[in-house]
Amino acid sequence: MRPASAFVFMLFLVLSAGYVHAQETYDSKHVGSYDFYKTRPVTGEPSGNPGMQTVKVGGMDLMVPAGMRVYKMDGTVVTEGLDSYTARRFDELEARLDKMAEALDKLAKETAESINELRKEVDDLKSESQKGSNR
């Protein structure tokens, strides 16, 4: 197994175990209090892995995919599930692509209008130069 594959597999196992433990704790106590922590990179420590970030929660540093939510539940640090993380990221990307498409359409219309205006100006200049040469 390649080192990157082994790392992803180990990360998946650790995250899965943490999620299962957190869910069992939640189900047994029926406590709905989640302390969400905004993910923030640890200053001065780039993760070195593209798409990953180091997040500081309490006194611990966790390496998670960029943008993954990390929270504390009953004293246990839990990361957002991979299915909800990927679904949320796809929704964010779709919204971003929609905005980019709208901006591109607007830019294309503005460019077409500018081209038409320039063509009219060129035609006007041509007609003026032909009138001037006919005199």
Token pair 């032909």 is found at 130
Q: Is the pTM of this model over 0.85?
A: no
Bin 78: left if φ > 0, else alpha if -120 < ψ < 50, else beta. beta
pLDDT at res. 40: 46
Name the token pair of 65. Answer: 């995919």
Interior CA angle at 41 toward 56 and 44, to 5°? 105
pLDDT at res. 28: 45
- Ranges of H-type helices in the chain: 3-29, 82-134
Per-residue pLDDT tens digits of the chain, which is 135 residues long? 566 666 666 666 666 655 545 555 444 444 444 444 444 444 444 556 777 888 887 777 888 888 888 888 787 888 888 888 889 889 999 999 999 999 999 999 999 999 999 999 999 999 988 887 766
Domain boundaries, the chain: 3-80, 81-135
Name the token pair of 78. Answer: 């839990």
